[in-house]
Structure 1
Amino acid sequence: MFINPKTMLLGVFLFALPALGIAQTWTHEGGTLNLDEAPKRIVALNWAATETLLLLGITPVGVADMSGYNAWVKEPELPDDATNVGTRVAPNLEAIAELEPDLIVTSTEMAPATELLEQIAPTYVISVYKPDIRPFDKAREMLVTLGDMVDRKDQAEAVLTDIELTLKQQRDRLEHAELTDTPVALVSFQDHRHVRIYTESSLYQAALESLGLTNAWPNLGNYWGFSSIGLESVAQIPDSRLVVIEPLVPGLAGSLENSPFWTYLPPVRSQQIYQIPRAWPFGGVYPVKRLAVALTDALLEGGSNNVR
């Protein structure tokens, strides 16, 4: 059988393409990004990006504000072998350059520094928190895109499948107990008199909707997904369950027991106060899973008239 030499050469060339490394291009908030191969040394300049890389099984070589991540985000756990590269609002460009990264992940809050970052390494810009954006959708986009960049698409899909399954399981638990009817207000205490109340623009909203729950707070918040209000404003949502998210202000429980703003709130008088562990409200996809499990456990356990 005769084989055309040109056909043979074409086949050899096509077979060799993956080994040669074919550049791929991604469009992002800072323009376009071209990579010849999957990056291995990645610097993350916000905690949502750090969390996302860890979910993909990649430890960033550099992380902005490592101690803050370990204190506030906690999961996924950040190994000690990452290097701190300054703060999230003012990263140390020299420290980043010394790590010789082949990819930097940042957001538009760092727009003034993007050109400088691009002189160090290819830079991917994506903002989970911006006006008129649903944070969970954007966080999911970041996970999928980074999974594609680092050649771990299967891992990204596995993470999302696990989250979807967990959310469904928690919703089934609540529906079986007939606990989805009463709206839920999610708050974090700022001091003894003021709270952040999370709105429909928050990351937490994805957990509430997936659990079949209604957000009790009807007003709009900022693009980070919350409003700062006085305790007395909670009286605007009388038929609701009030869920307090840790950490608590020192001495809070004692102060609330003697506070007229607290003791006369409808959720307090009806013993519809719930307390749950922290789940970072400004992260990627993983806090939605953490919040859903903690919230479901708390609602099934039952409410009280105070925080603990």
Structure 2
Amino acid sequence: MLGALALLPVASRVRASVPPRVASLSWAGAQILASIGAPPMALTELDSYPKVGALPPMPSNVIELGSHSEPNLELLAQLAPDLIVIDQDQSNLEAQLQRIAPTFVIDIYDSRRGKPFARAVEETGRLAARLDRVAQARAYLDDVDRQLDARAATVATLDAPPVLVVDLYDDGRRFFVYGPNSMIHDVMTRLNIANAWRGDTDSGWVLLNVEDLASMGHAQMFYISHGARDRIALSNLSRSPLWRSLPFASQGRFHPLPGFFTYGAASCATQCADGLTQGLVAATRRGSRANG
């Protein structure tokens, strides 16, 4: 795939001899850019990017461009980038942006296509070809494959139960459960971890009530950590008699995963794989101690 993309006309690419001046209104796009050694000169919601645990880190000289939905177009015009990277859901801005610079649309999460990990790999190759950085993309994606293979090998040594990965809802009565069409589900598949949620999730997640989890009590549940925001949800959840009666709570099958950007590019896949693998290893050790 990357080889074919490398055949794009040279005129359609930013030449590698000149450092690319790329602004990104997309966090996934920024992750790709940084991963192939061409970090963006500017990014929307830059201050929030590290707070959710998104990686790779952005260099200190990256400029804040305002919100994802309402970027600072005046500042963007002053910066005069060679290329502007946007998400598919920002297509309403495209006509305005193209008056400033050519645009490149990142399209990873689409319920009709599914397979966001494969899409992230394809989009990494496509953006790399545009910037004449195909070799860097190959090296990066090869490293992603090595990391995922290593985590899969570790998981294979465990007697891992099915897993639920969730985001906590503030009211303590509901959970966002990740399933097909999410990067998390694709990572679980790659690591040979069974997803305890077997229903459809066109958008990659489904909102379930506590009582909906009763049939999945045999699973190990991980919640994606969001720092201080978790305290409200966990406090409310602890007041629920139904929750306390479920094996997740009563048998200690409920643990945090380090935060990461769940709708990102391939870097969020490696973060998710690391967190799940470490979590399952720790759960296995806890189980061994309890049984001993």
TM-score, length basis structure 2: 0.86
Deviation at 1:126, TM superposition (A): 2.4
Q: Is residue 206 of structure 2 the alignment partner of residue 227 of structure 1?
A: yes
Matched, 1:114 2:104: no
Contact persistence 1:42–1:105 (CA under 8 A): yes
What's the C-alpha RMSD, in Å, of the aligned pairs? 2.2
- Structure 2 residue aligned with 1:236: 215
Q: How does 1:251-262 map to 2 (within 5 A)?
A: 251-262=232-243
* Structure 1 residue 54 displacement after superposition: 0.7
Structure 1 residue 88 corresponds to structure 2 residue 68: yes
Separation in structure 1 between the aligned mates of residue 230 and residue 211 of structure 2, nearest angstrom: 18
Compare relative contact order (CA 8 Å, sep 6+) and give the higher one, 1 or 2.
2
Provide the residue aligned with 2:264 in structure 1.
Answer: 283
Partner of 1:205: 185
- Identify the match of residue 268 of structure 1 among 229, 249, 262: 249
Task: Tell which deviates more after alignment, 241-250 or 210-219.
Answer: 241-250
2:48 partner SS: helix
SS in 2 for 1:58: coil
Distance of 2:53 and 2:83 partners within structure 1: 23
By how many angstroms is 1:143 displaced?
0.9
Residues 82-141 of structure 1: per-residue CA shift (max 9 Å, x gap): 111121111122111111111111122112211111111111112212222321122111
Shift of 1:254: 4.7
Instruction: Quote the Cα distance in structure 2 between the aligned partners of 1:85 and 1:251.
Output: 31
For residues 36 and 60 of structure 1, what CA distance do their matches in structure 2 show? 14
Q: Percent identity?
A: 26
Deviations 1:198-229 (A, max 9, x none): 01110111210111111111222242x11122
Q: For 1:14-25, what aligned pairs fall within 5 Å after superposition? A: 23-24=9-10
Matched ranges for 1:92-241 at <5 A: 92-133=72-113, 134-179=115-160, 182-191=161-170, 192-223=172-203, 225-241=204-220
SS at match of 1:165: helix
Aligned partners of 2:224 and 2:259 also within 8 Å: yes
Deviation at 1:238, TM superposition (A): 2.8
Q: What amino acid maps onto 2:178 in structure 1? A: Y
User: Unaligned stretches of 5+ in structure 1?
Assistant: 1-21, 26-33
1:66-87: CA deviation from partner (whole Å, max 9, x where unpaired):
1121211432111121111121
Moved over 3 A (4+): 22-25, 34-39, 251-258
Residues of 2 paired with 1:155 and 1:73: CA distance?
24
| Whole-angstrom CA distance in 1 between matches of 2:81 and 2:182 | 32
In 2: Cα distance, 1:236 partner to 1:177 partner: 23
1:77 aligns with 57
Match of 1:7 in 2: none
Aligned to 2:15: 37
TM-score (norm 1): 0.82
Secondary structure at the aligned position of 2:143 is classed as helix
